[in-house]
Amino acid sequence: MKKLLLLILFFNTFLLLAQEIEIDSYVDKNKIGISDMLTFTIEISGENVPNISAPVLPEFNDFENLGTSSSSSSNYSIINGKMSSKITRNYSYTLRPVGTGNYLIPPITLEIQNKKFTTDPIHIQVVEGSTEPAPPASSNFRSRTDQSSDIADNLFLRVEISKKNVYLSEPIIVDYKLYSRDDIANLAFAGDTNFEGFWKEDVFTPESINFKQETYRDVRYNVMLMRSVALFPTQTGQLEIPSLSLNVDIREKSRNFFDFGSTRRYSIQNDPETIQVKPIPTENRPADYVNAVGSFQLTSGISETNLKVGDSFTLTIIITGNGNLKQFDVPKLPKVTNLRFLDPEISTEINKNVISGKKTIKYLIIAQEKGNYILPAITFTYFDTDKHSFKTLRTNPIDLAVREGNLPFISSSNAQSIVNEEGADIGFVITNKQIRSQKLYFNSFVYWLIWFIIFLFIPGSYLYSQERDKLKTNADYVRQKQAAKVLKKYMKQASLLVNKNEPGFYTTVQQGLGNYLADKLKEPRGSTTDKIILALTAKQVPPMLLKNVQTIFETCDQARFMPGGFSQEKIKLDFKLVNDTIKEIIKCKL
């Protein structure tokens, strides 16, 4: 028994080791000239590859084996703290064709750790002459159409489509891959690609040049994923997947010691491909079909089953799977009395490959009355593209118990009925009014002007009280203030006497002017003319005016002692002089 166990263990270990080994074979080109050399490589890779001697090739009739070389490389990586290693051993054979035509490198059988591996056969076309690149042309820009077939073999774009026969809205992944065996210096997209007839979601766009090795048609290439998109057909029939255009700068090999190398630009694009889009069948289409296409799973759940009136809870419906998650409508909810469903919050999370993801629909539900309720099953129908038929998913019904509650937010169950009671709820609309913008007084200039005017009362009242005090206490000041008033009175009287041609005019003028000047000059009333003149001189009154005053007083004196008086003309002239003089005196600040 023990022996049997050991044997099984040994066999398993051996199997494990053998399983980890991968064999690949490829050539550097599968179209060569009769004068060219061909490199055929066998690559053995795996976690634990033993160091074996170069496999011996069988006898070829069509090729001459010129020599063998071998190389090995190790690659260590640590993922999530786990170290893994990969050893790659390459055995290259240089072969020379012996004639033209189509030949086959036959499958090579290898035995590693007692396990046999066989490589795939490789077809080789041998033509006359050489397929080595021609000398470079003078221009440093060549398009794909005029380049040599060598460039076309070594640099091209390919499109990979995940599925070529699909249903309307069924997503496909389209990968644009660049294959190259040249030294690429730079890459750039040439123009936009217009995906007509599709709803497009970008899956991948490279940020830097990143090549991986891949064997395509028995030839080893450096391959870079240039663009990956998820396309959702929006039309039926034959739809074309458009080409991607690239500008690629290739480093040229230096031809001699002084040639430091140069780059040459090539414009390439892939051949367009087509896919066939079928319509979703109308036969047996369920009524609750919401345009979902793909393959989905449905789950649902609620945040709380034990509730109080007025409480809100969330019903979450999750649809996961592959398909047009962003494009279909949400499943309809059944109506339940006394449960108020609010508009749902919908969020869609899409995985990196875009076809798969999760659509979450959250309904906020408010319990309006106490009681036991059942949230019925929710159905979701989609078109299953694998089974070519409609499929309906169902959630389980959910039981709810709503108790009486006194939460801070109390629901008002009869809200709608109150709204409909016309006139008894809100006040009537305001009519017969002129609608004018109600401006703020604080923003009005007039308002602040009134404030300022009111404020001015304070200095005004102060000045007024000062004036009043002065009038009360200072008799000279009172005389000064009232002098003009008194003079006016006298002059009015004088004016009447002039018209009547009475000699009393001179007496009035003498009294009036004398009193005015005495009051103004703070001299006692009845002062002599000389005293007044002296005081006027002290006030620096102009001499001309002084003379006029003196003349008036003298004339008045004369008139008093003149029995016949003056003629009417003389009186009028004197009145004019008096008026002019008074005007001048008023102008002087006495």
A 10 A CB-CB count for 324 gives 22
Residues of span 457-486 touching another protein by CB under 8 A:
457-458, 460-462, 464-465, 468
* 452 touching another protein, by CB under 8 A: no
Q: What residues contact residue 236 under an 8 Å CB cut-off, 6+ apart?
A: 168, 277, 278, 279
Among 287, 429, 446, 538, binds another protein (CB under 8 A): 429
Six token digits for residue 126: 């041998």
Q: Are 317 and 378 in contact (CB under 8 A)?
A: yes
Q: Is 450 or 573 the residue whose CB approaches another protein more closely? A: 450
Residues of span 297-326 touching another protein by CB under 8 A:
310, 312
Q: Is 364 or 533 the residue whose CB approaches another protein more closely? A: 364
Q: Is 433 or 589 the residue whose CB approaches another protein more closely? A: 433
Q: Are 124 and 219 in contact (CB under 8 A)?
A: no
Torsion of CA 30, 31, 36, 41, to 10 degrees: 0
- Minimum Å gap between C-beta 439 and another protein is 8
Among 102, 138, 434, 473, binds another protein (CB under 8 A): 434
Stretch that binds another protein, among 220-228, 292-300, 417-425, 543-551 (CB under 8 A): 417-425
Six token digits for residue 393: 């998913």
Q: Is the C-alpha dihedral spanning 41, 23, 224, 155 positive or negative?
A: positive
Total residue count of the chain as it appears in this document: 590
Q: Is 34 or 366 the residue whose CB approaches another protein more closely? A: 366
* 116 touching another protein, by CB under 8 A: no
Residues of span 43-62 touching another protein by CB under 8 A:
none
Strands 141-143 and 263-269: parallel
Residues of span 385-414 touching another protein by CB under 8 A:
408-412
* 433 touching another protein, by CB under 8 A: yes
- Minimum Å gap between C-beta 358 and another protein is 14
- Minimum Å gap between C-beta 401 and another protein is 19
Residue 16, Ramachandran bin (φ over 0: left; ψ between -120 and 50: alpha; else beta):
alpha
A 10 A CB-CB count for 182 gives 19
Among 257, 258, 260, 442, binds another protein (CB under 8 A): 442
Q: Is 11 or 455 the residue whose CB approaches another protein more closely? A: 455
Spatial distance between the Cα atoms of 382 and 558, rounded to a whole number of angstroms:
136
Among 6, 98, 152, 415, binds another protein (CB under 8 A): 415
254: Cα within 13 Å, side-chain hemisphere: 6
DSSP string, 160-186: EES-SEEETT--EEEEEEEEE-S-EEE
Among 7, 419, 496, 544, binds another protein (CB under 8 A): 419
Three-state DSSP at 486 gives helix
- Minimum Å gap between C-beta 443 and another protein is 10
* 436 touching another protein, by CB under 8 A: yes
Binding mask 346-365 for another protein (x = CB under 8 A): ------------------x-
* 14 touching another protein, by CB under 8 A: no
Give which of 227, 233, 238, 244 is closest to 172, Cα–Cα: 233
Among 22, 304, 425, 554, binds another protein (CB under 8 A): 425
Burial class of residue 32 in the structure, from the number of CB atoms within 10 Å of its CB (0-12 exposed, 13-18 middle, 19+ buried): buried
Phi, psi of 343, rounded to the nearest 5 degrees = -55, 135
- Minimum Å gap between C-beta 432 and another protein is 8
Among 440, 538, 564, 583, binds another protein (CB under 8 A): 440
Give which of 244, 91, 66 is closest to 157, Cα–Cα: 244
Q: How many residues bind another protein (CB under 8 A)?
A: 44
Q: Is 342 or 562 the residue whose CB approaches another protein more closely? A: 342
Q: Are 146 and 138 in contact (CB under 8 A)?
A: no
- Amino acid, single-letter form, for residue 496: L
Q: Is 314 or 379 the residue whose CB approaches another protein more closely? A: 314
Give residues in contact with another protein (CB under 8 A).
310, 312, 342-343, 364, 366, 408-412, 415-416, 418-419, 425-427, 429-431, 433-442, 447, 450-451, 454-455, 457-458, 460-462, 464-465, 468
